[in-house]
Chains A and B, each alone.
Chain A
Amino acid sequence: MAGTGLIEIQGTLVVKPTEIEKKQGTQESLPPLKREGKAKLMRIYIGENDKRRDIPLHKALIESMRANGIAGVTVYQGILGYGANRRIHRDSALHLSHDQPVMLSVVVDTEEKLRAYFPILDEMVQQGLVVLSDVDIIKYTHNFPATECGKGARQ
């Protein structure tokens, strides 16, 4: 189904599953997973209003990651949140405020690649949270021909 994309798996401890549903009929086994290896997943939490040189910080980060050959980034817009500065970021339709929380989820093939990128990241993110975790990559395909521009970025 997914021709191009990435599925990641992370070691997760379930603290509390649902209690409402009946427990019957859960015996079917999970479909087999195709493991392709280990990778690092980085999450960056910033505000939508954060800027770098007059462009939104999340856009600046995506561009800089692309330029540095980082495998993939997804930007999520949050609806509510607070962080280091204790200010509540919220989507308020009446105030036309656009300072919602933004999360970037970044997948990198190797930790070295990521560590090499940290100085740039450090300089760009002046306020926010950056966390790193281990993930197993299940599937990773890219559909551009090996001769095109993508090759340079992915080396």
Chain B
Amino acid sequence: MKLAGRAKMLRVHFGEGDNWKDRPFYRAIAQKCRELDIAGATVLRGIAGYGASSLIHRSHVLSFSHDAPVMVSVIDSEEKIRRLLPFLDEAVDEGLVAMSEVEVIKYVHQDGIRS
């Protein structure tokens, strides 16, 4: 896969406890990205945050609450990113999806590892 020059970065913010069809939403997004042949997706967990619902999301070790804020960052060409939007439209009912411009400097993988 090649990725170079101008690209788009899509970031989806939601809670770790959010589910989509009985599994974590972040896992569903990553899988959907793979299905759509998108160059990559990274899921990052925040330690505190609040969003549209103004609830403070925090990960409490003692209370076993798992609603830390989660952000998925996806970078690819605009055309590929747009393929993901119908899924997000359907799946995100609480959260934020934002897109911005980026310039790809490098996108490499080691030959042989690729499966």
A129 within 8 A of B: yes
Q: How far is the CA of A14 from the CA of B51 in the complex (A)?
A: 14
Query: Which residues in window 111-155 of A have CB below 8 A to B?
Result: 118, 121-122, 125-134
Residues of A in contact with B, size category: 35 or more
A79 within 8 A of B: yes
Q: Which of B44, B105, B106, B115 contacts A103 (CB 8 A)?
A: B44
By the criterion CB–CB under 8 Å, are A86 and B114 in contact?
Answer: yes
CB distance from A126 to the nearest CB of B (A): 6
Q: How far is the CA of A17 from the CA of B70 in the complex (A)?
A: 15
Binds B, one of A18-26, A28-36, A65-73: A18-26
Residues of B in contact with A, size category: 35 or more
List, in ascending order, chain A residues with CB within 8 A of B26's CB. Answer: 79-80
Q: How far is the CA of A88 from the CA of B113 in the complex (A)?
A: 12
Query: Which residues in window 79-115 of B have CB below 8 A to A?
Result: 85, 88-89, 92-110, 113-115
By the criterion CB–CB under 8 Å, are B96 and A126 in contact?
Answer: no
By the criterion CB–CB under 8 Å, are A103 and B101 in contact?
Answer: no
1/0 per position for B10-51, CB-CB distance to A under 8 A?
110000000000000011001001100001111111000001
By the criterion CB–CB under 8 Å, are B109 and A78 in contact?
Answer: no
By the criterion CB–CB under 8 Å, are A81 and B98 in contact?
Answer: no
Q: Which of B52, B102, B114 contacts A85 (CB 8 A)?
A: B114
Considering the complex, give the chain B residue whose CB is closest to the CB of A101. B42
Given A18-B94, A80-B30, A127-B110: A42 touches B52 (CB 8 Å cut-off): no
List, in ascending order, chain B residues with CB within 8 A of A45's CB. Answer: 40, 42
List, in ascending order, chain B residues with CB within 8 A of A13's CB. Answer: 98-100
By the criterion CB–CB under 8 Å, are A21 and B52 in contact?
Answer: yes
A residues within 8 Å of B by Cβ? 10-21, 42-43, 45, 76-88, 101, 103, 118, 121-122, 125-134
CB-CB nearest 7 A-B residue pairs: A18-B52, A84-B109, A81-B42, A83-B40, A16-B97, A130-B106, A130-B105
B residues within 8 Å of A by Cβ? 1, 3, 7, 9-11, 26-27, 30, 33-34, 39-45, 51-54, 70, 73, 75, 85, 88-89, 92-110, 113-115
